[in-house]
Structure 1
Amino acid sequence: MHIAYITPEYPHPKINNGGGMGTSIKNLVEALVKKSHKVTVFVYGMDRNEVFIDHNIHFHLIAHKNYTIGGFYLYRKHIECYINSNVQNIDILEAPDWTGITAFMKLSKPLIIRFHGSDTYFCHIENRKQKLKNKWFEKLGVKNAKAFIAPTNFAGEKSMELFNLPNEKLKIIHYGLELEKFQNGQPEVYERHRILNIGTLIRKKGVFELIEVFNKLIEKELESTLIFIGADSRDIQTGSNSTWELMQKTMSQKAKERIIYLGKIPYEEVQEQIKKAHVCVFPSFAETLGMVTIESMALNKAVVNTNIGWAQDLIDHGVDGFMHHPEDIDAYVATINELFENEELVHAIGQAGRQKTELKFDIHNIVNQNIEYYKSICS
């Protein structure tokens, strides 16, 4: 097959714009190419136009354009025109739900929307008021899709409900990892009492709750260390330009001395930070899956995760990880403290977590599920 992806991000040196969505697309794209399928990636919102081939993947960078009026419509029509003029040999197109980028588009090939996480979905999960413009764009964006894919049952069913779409058009296919690239030969070697959190510093990731957890934990274990990795962001609730600055104001004096913020680091360095961690903690309020959770599990780490919706597809509580509601501060403290004191438990949970990723998130199996579904839509 020849599959094309429409995306605002993709981890690549020439693009320099990649988050969890881009990483999941990249994992799938590389697996498709290894199975001799052709792949084209249209990356919009770039600072230039460029076409290039890398590792048999055809990239089209589409520059952002400014318009005096109606840019939200005209730029989408510009993308539509560009894609339609470059899809002669393409079988199927896939686009994300985010921002409703396919609103107003009439694409000449079948379109699948993958629910990476729309503004509609996140506003609902976080109980935030959504801008009517964003809701309108996203509703129009999914309107002409032939089918939908979601990474977890919760994200898929909730998105279909919010957009009033029939569930028979939905397929659940997890994100996948190339597990050969996630190897931890010495899972018993780590820095004791080191807690790691990875993700953009933003309220929906539960970063303020994690500070509360650490404020209590440091009173029990003075050698505890909390590491944050990820870009800082503006805080919607207060209007502050820095969530990190707000987080510091909620830290106890003891906690502040043992919290380290590394900022956004290169993707290839993240694995080493995961391997150093005693426990990885992700008390998020809003995800569709949470790539860092399964990446940590793949590296034999004990994970203490959120228990909201999507997490049920990732973890069996007490078997291959732990799940608590982000607001249950004492539960997080108790579980992390137990892991600090019980090395056998850390090893057992980490080993079971790795086995879970091999069973459910191996990209070599995931890619076949995607191919079969693409073919069914094209037939």
Structure 2
Amino acid sequence: MKVAFLTPEYPHNRVQHSAGIGTSIKNLVKALVNEGVTVSIFVYGQEEDVVFLEDTVKIHLIKSQKYKVLGWFWHRKHIQNYLNKCILEDGIDLVEAPDWTGITAFMNLKAPLVIRFHGSDTYFCHLEKRSQKIKNFWFEKLAFNKAEAFIAPTHFAGELSKKLFSIKNKKIETIHHGLDLKQFVNVNPSNYERGLILYMGTIIRKKGVLELPDIFKMVREQYPNAQLVLIGNDSYDIQTKSRSTWELVQEKCLKEDLKNISYLGKIPYQEIQEYIKKAHICVFPTFAETLGMVTIEAMALQKPVVNSNIGWSQELIVDGESGYLVDSKNHEVFADKIVTLLKNEDLCKTIGKAARTRIETFFDIEKTVEQNIVFYKSIINKF
């Protein structure tokens, strides 16, 4: 079987950008290759046209093109033509693409197309209760019409996307993103910095970072030595038009709390594990996810997590057993859960252990890769 992934991001030093989508794809790619599947990666929106091998995976960087008119249409047609050429030359059996802004709208591919719900613009706008550009919904709807089937990382994401796009008579399979658990081992989970609270993710409103100043203030009222560390790219704020959400976070913090807050910006992915291991607790007050890779990574490393309680997260965490689920707008309860963990090391150990067990049960890439392969084969055989 030969599978291709079309994506705007992928973790590689020659690729311009990578975040959660890229990480989840690379995890799956490695597992597929181990199972004998031939994989090609097509990364669009790049600065150069180039093809190279990473181990046995062929990576195509597709350079951004400029057009005087109808760029949104000709951009997609350029990618379509390149993909179809490779599909025929390399015998590619299936193409997987993300849902974001409907990159596969207007494409007629010579292999079946599967769309994975990493999070469409429509999906995120719905969760954030904000208006959406009509063209973005139109592109995503057209892309969905072209797909043979869909994969959702959580049942919640699948059902909501099905409702928003009125998907009928097409299969939506729930397959969780997986982790290579051999790469996520914490040999000494009792060794961490007491009072260190870690947030990982883009510094953006939809991730709930603007809730952290009030939450952290309440934490320090009960645990004065608490430290908050934030890791991730700073981002434009769509509501205030501010160029920096981190600046908005600082404005909301008390001066005395800021002394106990560190923002590290974006750091290399391979270094993030060390920060997770050092953390006492990891917090994710996010409002908009399809699954939340950083949450399951923290759980895999036996960290107690306080997470928002919206739909998808209920498929990750059993509240009170493998972490805590809290309404991120309820700052007092969110802070109380953090303080409860900070003051009870035995509870941290118990929840951290249960978190690891849950990840081993539901998010082990060696299990989820088989689900992906079975699903791919079902689509290829039907095409």
What TM bracket, shorter-length normalisation?
Answer: over 0.9
- Aligned counterpart for 1:339 among listed residues 337, 341, 348: 341
Tell me, in whole angstroms, the C-alpha distance in 2 between the residues paired with 1:60 and 1:17: 15
Q: TM-score w.r.t. structure 1 length?
A: 0.99
- Provide the C-alpha distance between the structure 2 equivalents of 1:368 and 1:256, rounded to a whole number of angstroms: 47
Instruction: Give 1:168 shift.
Output: 5.3
1:188 alignment partner AA: S
Give the match's secondary structure for 2:150. Answer: strand
Aligned Cα RMSD in Å?
0.8
Q: Using the alignment, how far apart are the partners of 1:70 and 1:168 within structure 2?
A: 30
Do the aligned residues in 1 keep the contact of 2:303 with 2:355 (CA within 8 Å)?
yes
CA contact (8 A) 2:148 2:170 kept: no
- Structure 2 residue 314 is matched with structure 1 residue 312: yes
Q: How many residue pairs are counted as aligned between the two chains?
A: 379
Aligned partners of 2:154 and 2:312 also within 8 Å: yes
- Residue 11 of structure 1 corresponds to 11
Q: How does 1:247-258 map to 2 (within 5 A)?
A: 247-258=249-260
The AA in structure 1 aligned to 2:228 is: L
Partner of 1:123: 125
Give CA-to-partner distance per residue, 1:256-282, whole Å, 9 cap, x none: 110000000000110000000000000
1:101 aligns with 2:103: yes
Matched with 2:292 is 290
Q: Does 1:85 align with 2:85?
A: yes
Write the letter of the residue equivalent to 2:31. Answer: A
Q: Kindly provide the CA deviation profile for residues 211-244 of structure 1, in whole angstroms up to 9, marking residues without a partner as x.
A: 1100111121111000000000000001010001
Aligned residue number for residue 48 of structure 1 = 48
2:69 alignment partner in structure 1:
69
Matches within 5 A, 1:1-379: 1-88=1-88, 89-166=91-168, 169-379=171-381
**Structure-2-length-normalised TM-score:** 0.98
Q: Distance in 2 between matches of 1:201 and 1:106?
A: 37
Counterpart contact for 2:16–2:46, Cα < 8 Å = no
1:144, CA displacement in angstroms? 1.0
**Partner SS for 2:24:** helix
Structure 1 distance, partners of 2:149, 2:53, is 29
Identity %: 54
| 4+ aligned runs moved over 6 Å, structure 1 | none
Q: How many Å separate the matches in 2 of 1:272 and 1:249?
A: 29
For 1:247 and 1:214, the matched residues in 2 are separated by 11
Does the 8 Å contact 1:157/1:167 carry over to 2?
no
For 1:248, give the aligned amino acid. Q
- Given residue 295 of structure 1, which amino acid in structure 2 is its aligned partner? E
Contact kept, 8 Å, 1:307 with 1:324, in 2: the verdict is yes
Cα distance in 2, alignment partners of residues 166 and 289 from structure 1: 23
Q: CA deviation at 1:166?
A: 2.2
Looking at structure 1, the residues matched to 8 and 206 of structure 2 have their Cα atoms a distance apart, in angstroms, of 21
Work out whether residues 218 and 335 of structure 2, in 8 Å CA contact, stay in contact via their aligned partners in 1.
yes
C-alpha distance in structure 2 between counterparts of 1:12 and 1:33, whole Å: 17
Give the drift of 1:210. 1.4
- Cα deviation for residue 167 of structure 1 reads 6.8
Counterpart of 2:86 in 1: which secondary structure? coil
Q: Residues of 1 paired with 2:345 and 2:16: CA distance?
A: 39
SS in 2 for 1:87: helix
Which letter maps to 1:206?
G
Provide structure 1 residue ranges, at least 5 long, that are not aligned to the other structure: none
What secondary structure sits across from 1:320 in the alignment? coil
C-alpha displacement of 1:16? 3.7
C-alpha separation in 1, matches of 2:53 and 2:101: 27
Partner Cα separation in structure 1 for residue 112 and residue 338 of structure 2: 47
